Structure 1
Amino acid sequence: MIEITGLTKRYGGKAAVDGLTFTVEPGRVTGFLGPNGAGKSTTMRMILGLDRPDEGRVRVNGRGYVTAALPMREVGALLDARALHGTRTARNHLLWLAHAGAIAESRVDEVLRQVGLESVARKRAGTFSLGMSQRLGIAAALLGDPRVLLFDEPVNGLDPEGVKWIRELMRDLAGEGRTVLVSSHLMSEMALTADHLVVIGRGRLIADVGMTEFVRHSSGVLVRADDPERLATALTAAGAAVEPEPGGALAVSGLEAGAIGRIALDAAIALSELTPRRLSLEEAYMNLTRDSIEFEAGAA
């Protein structure tokens, strides 16, 4: 289990992480989402003790990770697949880590087989493609057979077979009762992998919720009315979020279709369409984080 309480990290006058509090439970895959610059990587680094928080604390299995006697047996992490000595072979890279972590040499060959790198074990890691480096980084994370695992963008560079493999691996690890935290920008993949979501923006918590509930609560209703402006005013007054759609339609969230119909009836506004629609994870995520995007491209 990972417990984060009031975590804050500043660089100069800017808070990269700002009073963040959430818990990553064992037995499920937790997706860690947020726009670029949201503070995800900084949070992961503080979990591992690579950065020191200015305020708050992190507990891994009830204590600070830096106090662990055998840290690789408690937490496995993939933060940067290219963070390795390129002249070492894949096997020697893992062997060096195993010796440093008091891990049996036999475990090196086990994880090489597990990630599909057995045939290239004696090739220099510096010659690997990004996808192969990702597999080697995952092997390093698994080396100590830890109960807690952190993966930052683990599917980058992987082909479709590799993406499917890492998805199944993460779900299998969670199914064994391990704590699995995965950061990714690939919403389609998170929709297939994560059981729970933690969403942050500008260093602050936006959502900490189960996957099904997140998408359900982010879904809405498409409405077409004879007087959309007056209906939008009435719906907003009732607590709904209303966005104009092409063709004069309204995208309404926060109210069920029946409640929207009753409000329209009370206001004597005729409706020509009242269609509930379920958003994809990507659509729900974009709606939730639109005010937290720090780096946004302009029009061409």
Structure 2
Amino acid sequence: MIEVIGLAKRFGRTTAVEDLTFTVHPGRVTGFLGPNGSGKSTTLRALLGLERPDHGTALIDGRPYPTLRHPSHQVGALLDAGAVHPGRSARAHLTALAVAGRVARRRVDEVLERVGLAQAATRRAGEFSLGMKQRLGIAGALLGDPAVLLFDEPGNGLDPEGIVWIRTLMRSLATEGRTVFVSSHLLAETALTADHLVVIGRGRLIADTGVERFLTEHAAARVHVRSPARSRLAELLRARGAGVEYEGADALIVTGAGVDEIGDAAAAAGLPVHELSARHASLEDVFMDLTRDAVDYRGVTHA
């Protein structure tokens, strides 16, 4: 189990993490979400003993990482797929990790097979694509057959087949009873992979809940309406207290009013409606709404 309790870390005047507390349980995939600069990487590094917290604790199986007796057998992690000597073959890289971690060398070929790199075992890592390096990094995380796994953006560089593969792998690892903690910006993929979410912004906890509950509690019901009289319909719905946004040439996105209410109001006013349908918010929609005030770096979206 992973436990973060009152974690705080500052870099000069910048607060990376502030009073962060959450628990990651075994047997499920927990997605770790947050905007850039939210403190995700600092939290992962604190869990692996790469950053010393100013306050609080980051524990794995109830202990700080540096005090684990057999870390390679207890924790596997992928933080940087590029952290491999370009002149070493995939097999040589994993063999070096196995020797350092006191892992049986037979595991090298086993994990190469599991991540789909068996045919590339003798190729130098410097020749690998980003997707292949990601697979090699995942193989390194699996090498000691650990019960706890931490992955930072494991889907980077993977093609569509690779994305499906990593999703299946994460879920199978959780089914085996392992603790799987995955940081990602691929929100649509996270919605398909994760059972639970930990969401942070500006170093503080925003949500710690199941995916379905997260969507149910934070998603505003939206209705898509298409009408040639949309301006008049928008005025009518706003007068009834609904939120209305224009979309495309003749459509509206309405919040605060259901399909039946909108249809009845349009009919009573004699306004034509060509389409009326409920829209279910995606994880991306809810995440963007919930973290809107926690984004440090925002680009310009218009020309």
TM-score (norm 2): 0.86
Distance (Å, rounded) in 2 between the aligned partners of 1:249 and 1:49: 51
1:286 maps to: 288
Q: 1:286 is aligned with what amino acid?
A: M
For the Cα contact (< 8 Å) 2:20–2:204, is it kept in 1?
yes
String of CA shifts for 1:189-243, please: whole Å, max 9, x gaps: 11110011111111111111111111222141449665445543xx7xxxxxx56
2:20 maps to: 20
1:150 maps to: 150
For the Cα contact (< 8 Å) 1:152–1:182, is it kept in 2?
yes
Secondary structure of the 2:291 match is: helix
For the Cα contact (< 8 Å) 1:32–1:199, is it kept in 2?
yes
Distance (Å, rounded) in 1 between the aligned partners of 2:283 and 2:269: 32
Secondary structure of the 2:177 match is: coil
2:221 maps to: 220
Distance (Å, rounded) in 2 between the aligned partners of 1:270 and 1:294: 45
For the Cα contact (< 8 Å) 2:222–2:281, is it kept in 1?
no
1:40 and 2:43 matched: no
Give the direction of change, closer, same or farther, for the CA distance of 1:251–1:46 in structure 2 (3 Å limit).
Answer: farther
Q: CA deviation at 1:289?
A: 1.2
1:238 maps to: none
Distance (Å, rounded) in 1 between the aligned partners of 2:3 and 2:244: 37
For the Cα contact (< 8 Å) 1:2–1:25, is it kept in 2?
yes
1:252 maps to: 255
String of CA shifts for 1:245-266, please: whole Å, max 9, x gaps: 557957436xx859x96xxx9x
Q: CA deviation at 1:5?
A: 0.9
2:172 maps to: 172
Distance (Å, rounded) in 2 between the aligned partners of 1:252 and 1:2: 38
Distance (Å, rounded) in 1 between the aligned partners of 2:215 and 2:269: 29
Q: 1:107 is aligned with what amino acid?
A: R
Secondary structure of the 1:16 match is: strand
For the Cα contact (< 8 Å) 1:216–1:278, is it kept in 2?
no
Any gaps of 5 or more consecutive residues in structure 1? 236-241
Q: CA deviation at 1:132?
A: 0.7
2:99 maps to: 99
Q: CA deviation at 1:271?
A: 12
String of CA shifts for 1:148-171, please: whole Å, max 9, x gaps: 000111011111111111110000
Q: 1:131 is aligned with what amino acid?
A: G
For the Cα contact (< 8 Å) 1:225–1:270, is it kept in 2?
no
2:228 maps to: none
Q: 1:145 is aligned with what amino acid?
A: D
Distance (Å, rounded) in 2 between the aligned partners of 1:139 and 1:11: 32
Distance (Å, rounded) in 2 between the aligned partners of 1:120 and 1:98: 18
Moved more, 133-142 or 195-204: 195-204
1:239 maps to: none
String of CA shifts for 1:10-55, please: whole Å, max 9, x gaps: 1111111111111111000001111111111111101101011111
Aligned residues: 284
Give the direction of change, closer, same or farther, for the CA distance of 1:245–1:168 in structure 2 (3 Å limit).
Answer: same
Q: Runs (4+) of structure 1 moved beyond 6 Å?
A: 269-275
1:122 maps to: 122
Identity among equivalent positions (%) equals 57
For the Cα contact (< 8 Å) 1:90–1:124, is it kept in 2?
yes
Distance (Å, rounded) in 2 between the aligned partners of 1:271 and 1:144: 69
For the Cα contact (< 8 Å) 2:238–2:244, is it kept in 1?
no
Any gaps of 5 or more consecutive residues in structure 2? 226-232
For the Cα contact (< 8 Å) 1:225–1:231, is it kept in 2?
no
